Amino acid sequence: MTEGQATSAERPVYLVEPWCVREPELRLDRLAQSESVFALSNGHLGMRGNLDEGEPHGLPGTYLNSFYEQRPLPQAEVAYGYPESGQTVINVTNGKVIRLLVDDEPFDVRYGRVHHHERVLDMQAGTLTRHVEWTSPADRRVKVTSIRMVSLTQRAVAAICYEIEPVDAAVRVVAQSELVANEALPDGGKDPRSSAILDHPLISEEHVANGTKVLLLHRTRQSGLRMAAGMSHQIAGPESMAVDTESSPDVGRLTVATRLEPGQKLRIVKYLAYGWSSQRSRPALHDQVVGALAGARQTGWDGLLKEQRTYLDDFWCGADVEVDGDAEIQQAVRFGLFHVLQAGARAERRMIPAKGLTGPGYDGHTFWDTETFVLPVLTYTSPGAAADALAWRQMTLPLAVERANQLGLSGAAFPWRTIRGHECSGYWPAGTAAFHINADIADAVVRYVDATQDERFEREVGLEILVETARLWRSLGHHDVGGVFRIDGITGPDEYSAIVDNNIYTNLMARRNLQAAAETAMRHPDLADRHGVNAEEAASWRDAAAAMLIPYDDRLGVHPQSENFTNHARWDFAATKPDHYPLLLNYPYFDLYRKQVVKQADLVLALHLCGEAFTEEQKVRDFDYYEGLTVRDSSLSAQTQAVVAAEVGQLELAHDYLGETALMDLHDLNRNTRDGLHIASMAGAWSGLVAGFGGMRAGGGRLRFAPRLPGGISRLAFRMWYRGNRLRINVTAEAACYELLEGPGLKLSHHGEEFTLADEPAELPITQIPARPAPTQPVGREPAPRRIDPHGRAPGGG
């Protein structure tokens, strides 16, 4: 996954506030970005922040998790094992639309005069609020306020409270609240990173209008999925109102016409409900949506708001991060946590896509991003959501076993990219060959179990995943004549190398996978037996793990990312023009693959996730070496570089990388936030702070911290869950204070020193470390600096 980086400094689109993202004026030039930033989702239902009136728009979008259409995956030269069709997320029936006519003139911000236009995403309330004051071309002035929510408590439900009032003179207003299926979408362009946009993917099956309620039912053409969207309304306004509803195959409409005197308001509460199924009948789905609407109406608008806030209060009390000294990062880490939660909260045994439900980028697929970058955050802040995401992987195991079998391997080969579990990658060297995703999933299982001691999960979900992925590794690797266990011909995280031998990240993660499977099987012999694991198989996993090859370049004194990597020519960075990044859009894969150039942290990701395999000195040398090669053409890279930079004492550099991951979407750094948010980067803000400056590492029941702050951050405090304990760690330049907010207490480690945390907070000192020279990055690829100027603004960030 790759993006182009923006460099020009522009006036900020959003104000920097600790709990809100506020757009103080409507920026039509950033409309599509804002639609992603202001997207609301509960992980099941997602709505982009499109304007209520539908137009103008960057990209209209309403998504249901795992509701997709098939599309062909053509190949100039077909070969065995290529997937024949892909899956792509589709824009489902749009229930956000409320059009308004003011004295017959449509309310449209492109016409007339906008006096005031403000939108606020409130991360404590879980709402998007909009205030507009507008004069029509015919000189009628109105105020429009809308509050939108996608309920975190009622999974099928969204709601909008829409109010209109005249400002100085009476107006005749007509409001049209709609459901619109098969909206026309703008062209996707040719960038392979954008979604394949499908025209008219929905076929009408039923439409009903009844009272203030309208339902539209559709199914997809190829994938054969059925969906229903319904709306229901509560209307308050002058006594004389004409209300009408109608439906047609692709449009449902409620129309309210009235005349408002100054001081009068028209208020429409629109309840929306969605459902989909690959199996349930039309009547069943119909009733399901009608039921959800009834439930929402019963709760009422104020009730929904209250539930939402309670849900979020609960979340923040175990997840909040406070940052003093860098207000942008403070906002960004909460923004990131909010969107990570939105992506996973109610996904409930469905996948978490790379873009969440905020846009159609990457066809709506999930990748290893989820397990490697997003689930660590959920594991320690909202563990149930992490368990659900892994339970979804388990549900897809039959497909992964089938895929492994097709590839001539044992166990399970999870897809590189997918919506429903089928491999949808059209380029195998950077798809199927990237087997590390299997170890990444296994690692997420190990991490979750370590963090929660959820034995039921381990037995019902975790063990099977560990066993099947261990079987994969055992069959993918082999012992050479010297007895070393090799994993040849695969692709590691860095997508500027492919089909390599003994990628260190992959080998270390496979080792962990094999060990964990063997240990877990030993812990649950009854279950292991049911999965066909005997003592010999478990022994063969332990042996392969113990014999795993980890190449080392003695000549340079660094670890090669994979065998032979450090013998390759270095990329000629000096000759590479700034506008030739991302490189993959300007150079052929063959050239990238055979040279030392790194798209994204790979060996450095191993330094983070498998730190126990490296000495401190190796970490320093390796990090320096790969800094000189890493161009960060993937948005996944900066957070890992932030974490490892902090670990090796490059605190200012870590702060710079943190800025890049945290502000990826708020500043649209890669110029593709329009296609959806980078959920992994959103998670990266948390990781950069907690794993980076907090030095948090966990595993084997041990939770360790090694906090140390950069100059620009005067205080960092974060909350997290570990084994039933809710903790708060407050870090300053001099000391860290550990506090148990809830739970039985636990052993922790602070900079290598173990201590027990119980009722009493523990304050421990932080020693300064001598500065080392900073490593250099490829010319022009340095992260933007976050040095704080006297007024507290970060010049590079905003």
Interface with a copy of itself (CB under 8 A), residue from 310, 567, 756, 776: 567
Interface pattern 405-434 for a copy of itself (x via CB under 8 A): -xxxx---------------xxxxx--xx-
Interface with a copy of itself (CB under 8 A), residue from 542, 589, 723, 785: 589
CB of 195 to a copy of itself, least distance (A): 13
- 759 Cβ contact partners less than 8 Å away, ≥ 6 residues apart: 740, 745
CB of 592 to a copy of itself, least distance (A): 9
499 binds a copy of itself (CB under 8 A): yes
Tokens of 241: 């109102």
480 binds a copy of itself (CB under 8 A): yes
752 binds a copy of itself (CB under 8 A): no
Identify the bridge partners of residue 98 per DSSP, sorted by sequence position.
Answer: 177
Phi, psi (deg, nearest 5) at residue 290: -60, -40
Tokens of 334: 């909460």
Nearer to a copy of itself, 230 or 431 (CB): 431
Q: Determine whether the annotation assigns residue 369 to a binding site.
A: yes
573 binds a copy of itself (CB under 8 A): no
Span of 93-101, 329-337, 482-490, 519-527 interacting with a copy of itself by CB under 8 A: 482-490
Nearer to a copy of itself, 277 or 406 (CB): 406
Q: Determine whether the annotation assigns residue 599 to a binding site.
A: yes
Nearer to a copy of itself, 563 or 665 (CB): 563
Instruction: Please work out, in degrees rounded to the nearest 5, the angle formed at the alpha carbon of residue 511 by the alpha carbons of 510 and 517.
Output: 85
701 binds a copy of itself (CB under 8 A): no
**Nearest-angstrom CA–CA distance, 101 and 136:** 10
Q: Which amino acid is at 214?
A: V
629 near 596, Cβ under 8 Å?
A: yes
CB of 61 to a copy of itself, least distance (A): 23
CB of 560 to a copy of itself, least distance (A): 12
CB of 563 to a copy of itself, least distance (A): 6
Q: Determine whether the annotation assigns residue 287 to a binding site.
A: no
Interface with a copy of itself (CB under 8 A), residue from 25, 55, 75, 795: 75
Identify the bridge partners of residue 47 per DSSP, sorted by sequence position.
Answer: 40, 62
Query: Containing H/E element for 748?
Result: strand 746-750
Tokens of 520: 């877990």
81 binds a copy of itself (CB under 8 A): yes
200 binds a copy of itself (CB under 8 A): no
**Nearest-angstrom CA–CA distance, 488 and 39:** 42
Nearer to a copy of itself, 291 or 489 (CB): 489
Considering only residues 381 through 410, tell me which ones interact with a copy of itself, judged by CB under 8 A.
406-409
Burial of 124 (0-12, 13-18, 19+ CB in 10 A): middle
Span of 281-289, 293-301, 382-390, 581-589 interacting with a copy of itself by CB under 8 A: 581-589
Three-state secondary structure call for residue 599: coil
Please provide the DSSP assignment of 317-377 as one string.
HTT-EEEES-HHHHHHHHHHHHHHHHHHTTT-SS---TTTTS--GGGG-B-HHIIIIIHHH
Q: Which residue, among 342, 345, 333, has the nearest Cα to 19 in the 3D structure?
A: 333
Count of positions on this chain that bind a copy of itself (CB under 8 A)? 52
Query: Containing H/E element for 754?
Result: strand 753-757
456 binds a copy of itself (CB under 8 A): no
CB of 553 to a copy of itself, least distance (A): 10
591 binds a copy of itself (CB under 8 A): yes
Question: Residue 699 to residues 81, 87, 704, 748: CA-CA distances in angstroms?
Answer: 37, 36, 9, 12
Nearer to a copy of itself, 499 or 547 (CB): 499
Query: Containing H/E element for 729?
Result: strand 725-732
543 binds a copy of itself (CB under 8 A): no
Interface with a copy of itself (CB under 8 A), residue from 8, 76, 263, 579: 76
Interface with a copy of itself (CB under 8 A), residue from 110, 184, 526, 590: 590
Convert 221-245 to b/e letters by CB count within 10 Å (16 or more is b).
Answer: eebebbbbbbbbbebebeeeeebeb
Nearer to a copy of itself, 588 or 790 (CB): 588
Nearer to a copy of itself, 488 or 543 (CB): 488
635 binds a copy of itself (CB under 8 A): no
216 near 204, Cβ under 8 Å?
A: yes
Interface with a copy of itself (CB under 8 A), residue from 263, 588, 700, 773: 588
Strands 702-705 and 746-750: parallel
Span of 77-85, 90-98, 278-286, 781-789 interacting with a copy of itself by CB under 8 A: 77-85
Span of 316-324, 439-447, 592-600, 758-766 interacting with a copy of itself by CB under 8 A: 592-600
Please provide the DSSP assignment of 764-795 as one string.
EE-------PPP-PSTT-PPPP-PPPTTS--T
Nearer to a copy of itself, 40 or 433 (CB): 433
CB of 431 to a copy of itself, least distance (A): 8
CB of 343 to a copy of itself, least distance (A): 24
Q: Which residue, among 132, 102, 139, 140, has the nearest Cα to 116 in the 3D structure?
A: 132
**Nearest-angstrom CA–CA distance, 412 and 406:** 10
Three-state secondary structure call for residue 217: strand
Considering only residues 169 through 198, tell me which ones interact with a copy of itself, judged by CB under 8 A.
190, 192
Nearer to a copy of itself, 133 or 501 (CB): 501
Interface with a copy of itself (CB under 8 A), residue from 108, 488, 652, 782: 488
CB of 36 to a copy of itself, least distance (A): 23
Q: Which residue, among 658, 775, 776, has the nearest Cα to 713 in the 3D structure?
A: 658
Which of these is catalytic: 35, 464, 495, 537?
A: 495
* CA quadruple 13, 16, 18, 24: dihedral sign: negative
593 binds a copy of itself (CB under 8 A): yes
548 binds a copy of itself (CB under 8 A): no
Q: Is 495 a catalytic residue?
A: yes
Span of 8-16, 156-164, 448-456, 475-483 interacting with a copy of itself by CB under 8 A: 475-483
Judge if the upstream peptide bond of residue 582 is cis by omega within 30 degrees of 0. yes
**Nearest-angstrom CA–CA distance, 14 and 34:** 9
**Nearest-angstrom CA–CA distance, 463 and 676:** 34
CB of 74 to a copy of itself, least distance (A): 3
552 binds a copy of itself (CB under 8 A): no
Tokens of 732: 């300053």
714 near 732, Cβ under 8 Å?
A: yes
Question: Residue 140 to residues 76, 116, 190, 445, 759: CA-CA distances in angstroms?
Answer: 59, 15, 43, 59, 63
Nearer to a copy of itself, 49 or 361 (CB): 361
Interface with a copy of itself (CB under 8 A), residue from 4, 17, 24, 73: 73
Nearer to a copy of itself, 190 or 791 (CB): 190
Query: Containing H/E element for 173?
Result: strand 171-180
248 binds a copy of itself (CB under 8 A): no
478 binds a copy of itself (CB under 8 A): yes
Nearer to a copy of itself, 331 or 432 (CB): 432
Three-state secondary structure call for residue 719: strand
Q: Which residues are catalytic?
A: 495
Return binding residues for substrate: 368-369, 599-600
Return binding residues: 368-369, 599-600
Which residues of the chain form contacts with a copy of itself (CB under 8 A)? Answer: 73-81, 86, 190, 192, 406-409, 425-429, 432-433, 478, 480-482, 486, 488-490, 498-499, 501, 555-556, 563-564, 567-569, 584-591, 593-595
